[in-house]
A and B are shown apart, each in its own frame.
Chain A
Amino acid sequence: MSLDKATVAKIAHLARIKVPDEELEALAGELSQILTFVEQLNEVDTKDVPPMTSVAAQKLRRRKDEVTDGGYAAQVLSNGPETAEGFFVVPKVVE
């Protein structure tokens, strides 16, 4: 499997990572190498094999749907790069 520059640019955009144009070519090469490496999985017969969802033989626990934590907005916000009035501040989203 070989990825071209345009595909890498599209994935980078989906992943919200800015990749400078001049790095796309090299990155496409590296990612293609990895994808070629993983192609060997097609040799494995996986007919009727369930995809693993949990490695431990247990079901997810349930708990009561109730508030058990919270009430410390200042701590939640304490690491925010920009905050105001109890909110995280981001660039304007709606025009």
Chain B
Amino acid sequence: MTALTHLTMAEALDGLAKKEFTAVELTEAHVRAVEAVRPFNIFITETPDAALSMAKASDERRAQGAAGPMDGLPIAVKDLFCTKGVATTAGSHILDGFKPEYESTVTSQLWRDGAVMLGKVNLDEFAMGSATITAHQGETVSPWSPGAPGAWEKKIVAGGSSGGSAAVIAARAALGATGTDTGGSIRQPAGYTGTVGIKPTYGRCSRWGIVAYASSLDQAGPMTRTVEDAAIMLRSMCGFDPKDSTSVDMPVPDFRAALTGDIRGLRVGIPKEYRVEGLSAEIAALWEQGIAWLKEAGAEPVEVSLPHTKYALAAYYIIAPAEASSNLARYDGVRYGLRVEGGNLKEMYENTRGAGFGKEVQRRILIGTYVLSAGYYDAYYNKARQVRTRIKWDFDEAFKSCDVILTPTAPSTPFAIGEKMDDPVQMYLNDVFTVPINLAGLPAMSVPAGLGADGLPLGLQLIGRPFDEETLLRVGQVVEKAANFSAVPPFVA
């Protein structure tokens, strides 16, 4: 039998149903795996005791015939989701000691459906980053890094900001993990680690109880090893929540039922503006391969145009910091987390925020404060929001002639920790293919599609119409099957 930690969610559900193993056995195997991946600094907080008691309760439910759709599946939670009574840090010093008194809507739905929590995993501080290297708790190393754990020849990034989530699945220490995606933070790490990640349509998953970065862009989504598993997990995460004013009141489809494999006649848009300068030859080739796979399956590739693609990053780096500067105003040393005393209230605020926020977070807050300040609001913030409208219009127009769009997930294979880090703008270019989708509020996913010459994973991105995650998943599974991605990182638990 396959090791319990190497099962997919679908296989694990099957094994649990057939009583081949119990949820406690499945969880114990994963708790050991969580210990084995410690050199990679994936977990900020491990919760083995909670995991085992949740697993025990799961076995009892199953014995009574009351098992939920994810019953007994051990998963990890990005440390951006508030979890009742369990430290929630957002990767920041400023949330030192914070233990939420409430549970985020998305995680509460996962527990409602029977999932088991292994712990909270690392991210870029406040989800601001593309490499999972800026957390106060240190950087996460990808299990794809060559060499023995702790004595790597080269430390490869897991991507970010949901890098801990991606790494934990790739290392076979969880069957799935929650992620959040503001500019690519689910899809890019999924692409970098050979895993599957979906950013659903804006409004599908409740944002309630998730530490906010840029509220008009933030969406939670599942990260898993297969498209089918993503469909299983997505269903539990989605759903209307009156506590989130932008949550959309729509029925949640059975996403797994959409995986028919039949994409005959489907029109697949290929945006010509994504052939950017600096796109590596192997990624261009993989993209061509992806088009060929879909054609073989009966789909029809069509060229589409998204003329404002090149402006998406610039718009994003105004809108996201603007919203962040407002959202992060709440960390002031009064109600939770770190407090650094000062001579008066204002000094206390300044000292707390100066000591509590890392460099990248400070940079973004300052940019946001600047673009929202009197005299610059129209020139920067309003201009960016107008460009955002044009980006959305581009997609509306493109979807008149296609049903789904295929692009690469990232412009290169993952880089090593320490590379690309001097210049913030260079670092931002990692997100060039993913950011436009957040600005347009669309669903998109990354599917592992191959390995680069350096032996590191490459992903393809699919973009769907609003609320059409079903087509996205259906096409995603066709890509997954054609790519037959079976590479495993040098280290697995």
Q: How distant is the Cα of A17 from the Cα of B237 in the complex, in angstroms? A: 36
CB distance from B346 to the nearest CB of A (A): 7
Q: Which A residues are CB-close (under 8 A) to B101?
A: 72, 75-76, 78-79
Interface string of A26-47 (1 = CB under 8 A from B): 0100110111011111111010
Q: Number of B interface residues at 8 Å Cβ cutoff, please give it.
A: 73
Check B325 against A16 for contact (C-beta < 8 Å).
Answer: no
Check A31 against B315 for contact (C-beta < 8 Å).
Answer: no
A17, closest chain B residue (CB): B353
Interface string of B327-358 (1 = CB under 8 A from A): 00100111111110111111111110111010
Please choose the segment from B6-14, B38-46, B379-387 that sits at the chain A interface, where 4 or more of its residues have CB less than 8 A away. Answer: B379-387
Check B389 against A18 for contact (C-beta < 8 Å).
Answer: no
Contact pick for A27, options B246, B350, B363, CB 8 Å: B363
A residues 34-83 near B (Cβ < 8 Å) are 34-35, 37-44, 46, 49-58, 60-61, 63, 72, 75-76, 78-82
Is A12's beta carbon under 8 Å from chain B? Answer: yes
Interface string of B410-448 (1 = CB under 8 A from A): 000000000000011100100000000001110000000
CB distance from A67 to the nearest CB of B (A): 15
Check A60 against B345 for contact (C-beta < 8 Å).
Answer: no
Check A44 against B308 for contact (C-beta < 8 Å).
Answer: yes
Check B387 against A46 for contact (C-beta < 8 Å).
Answer: yes
Q: How distant is the Cα of A81 from the Cα of B335 in the complex, in angstroms? A: 7
Q: How distant is the Cα of A30 from the Cα of B339 in the complex, in angstroms? A: 27
Is B216's beta carbon under 8 Å from chain A? Answer: yes
Please choose the segment from B107-115, B258-266, B366-374 that sits at the chain A interface, where 4 or more of its residues have CB less than 8 A away. Answer: B366-374
Contact pick for A60, options B245, B329, B357, CB 8 Å: B245
Is B399's beta carbon under 8 Å from chain A? Answer: no
B307, closest chain A residue (CB): A44
Is A11's beta carbon under 8 Å from chain B? Answer: yes
Is B4's beta carbon under 8 Å from chain A? Answer: no
Is A84's beta carbon under 8 Å from chain B? Answer: no
Q: Which B residues are CB-close (under 8 A) to A93?
A: 344-345
Q: How distant is the Cα of A52 from the Cα of B347 in the complex, in angstroms? A: 36
Is B311's beta carbon under 8 Å from chain A? Answer: yes
Is B317's beta carbon under 8 Å from chain A? Answer: yes
A45, closest chain B residue (CB): B390
Contact pick for B423, options A33, A41, A82, CB 8 Å: A33
Is B238's beta carbon under 8 Å from chain A? Answer: no
Interface of A is mostly: loop
Is B30's beta carbon under 8 Å from chain A? Answer: no
* Given A91-B344, A91-B348, residue A49 in contact with residue B339 (CB < 8 A): no
Check B308 against A17 for contact (C-beta < 8 Å).
Answer: no
Check A58 against B248 for contact (C-beta < 8 Å).
Answer: yes
Check B353 against A18 for contact (C-beta < 8 Å).
Answer: yes
* Given A15-B369, A56-B246, A91-B344, residue A44 in contact with residue B336 (CB < 8 A): no
CB distance from A78 to the nearest CB of B (A): 6
Check A90 against B388 for contact (C-beta < 8 Å).
Answer: no
Q: How distant is the Cα of A33 from the Cα of B314 in the complex, in angstroms? A: 12
Contact pick for B348, options A34, A54, A90, CB 8 Å: A90
Check B366 against A27 for contact (C-beta < 8 Å).
Answer: yes
A38, closest chain B residue (CB): B314
Check A81 against B339 for contact (C-beta < 8 Å).
Answer: yes
Contact pick for B390, options A19, A44, A55, A58, CB 8 Å: A44
CB distance from A66 to the nearest CB of B (A): 13
Q: List 23 A-B contacts (CB under 8 A).
A: A17-B353, A18-B353, A31-B367, A31-B370, A33-B423, A34-B363, A35-B367, A37-B425, A38-B318, A41-B314, A43-B311, A44-B311, A44-B383, A46-B390, A51-B389, A55-B440, A56-B203, A60-B245, A61-B245, A79-B99, A79-B336, A81-B338, A91-B345
Q: Please report A residues at the B interface, Cβ cutoff 8 Å.
A: 3, 8, 11-19, 27, 30-31, 33-35, 37-44, 46, 49-58, 60-61, 63, 72, 75-76, 78-82, 88, 90-93
Q: Please report B residues at the A interface, Cβ cutoff 8 Å.
A: 97-101, 201-203, 216, 242, 245-246, 248, 308, 310-311, 313-315, 317-318, 325, 329, 332-339, 341-351, 353-355, 357, 362-363, 365-367, 369-370, 373, 380, 382-390, 392, 423-425, 428, 439-441, 466
Please provide the 4 A-B residue pairs with the shortest distance between their CB atoms, ordered closest to farther: A18-B354, A55-B441, A51-B385, A79-B336
